[in-house]
Structure 1
């Protein structure tokens, strides 16, 4: 296990940047332990929904956690707006860093993550393999 603290710059697509950081370090599996920052827009898929939502304006990224894999990440985020309302769900592509995102990424060099169809759930679920 190797920790990789990151500060992502304005304009970065949060999810794509995390997957790129994983690849840059030759890893195929990782976890976000925590992330904070600001986004505009935030792109979230809410529980049970098929499509994403993007709250208007800038939001604070309160929490970020989940698995990271090449093109197969599963990240949950909670964000708050200027009125303090909190919204959470699956982080989608297109969530853009506004001023900063500070993320602690853990690389798992001995493992590879992928997503494959699971007949029990009907979704593409995490598959863990030793490298």
Structure 2
């Protein structure tokens, strides 16, 4: 299995950066293996909601999982705030890296 590291910088849009990275690959699909880092804004579409909710603050990424394709991504994230409060949902555009986001991605050839 091929695993590629990707490090994002402060201000990068987490979802858009992952989608842009996938469009540059020869492979036609990929999945996230691991992710650590922090966000200053998390745009989450919560279960059952039709619109994203913006969460602001110093947020630690606890989990990020999902799939990538040149057509888009299906990503779920959980983040924790400064008091240990945890929230999660679909990762939407506008989720901004605070200090760093370090990702391990496995690009896969389409069968």
TM-score (norm 2): 0.93
| Number of aligned positions between the proteins | 111
State how far apart, in whole Å, the 1-side matches of 2:21 and 2:56 are.
28
Equivalent residue number for residue 54 of structure 1: 54
In the alignment, is residue 2 of structure 1 matched against residue 7 of structure 2? Answer: no
Shift of 1:6: 1.1
Query: Which has a greater percent of strand?
Result: 2
Equivalent residue number for residue 83 of structure 1: 83
TM-score (norm 1): 0.79
Alignment RMSD (CA, Å): 1.2
Shift of 1:24: 2.1
State how far apart, in whole Å, the 1-side matches of 2:72 and 2:19 are.
9
More RCO (CA 8 Å, sep 6+): 2
SS of the counterpart of 1:56?
Answer: strand
Shift of 1:58: 2.2
Shift of 1:90: 0.5
- Mapping of 1:1-131 within 5 angstroms? 1-108=1-108, 110-111=109-110, 130=111
Q: Which has the larger radius of gyration?
A: 1
| Alpha carbons of structure 1 residues 11 and 72: separation in structure 2 relative to 1, 3 Å | same
Equivalent residue number for residue 124 of structure 1: none
Shift of 1:26: 2.1
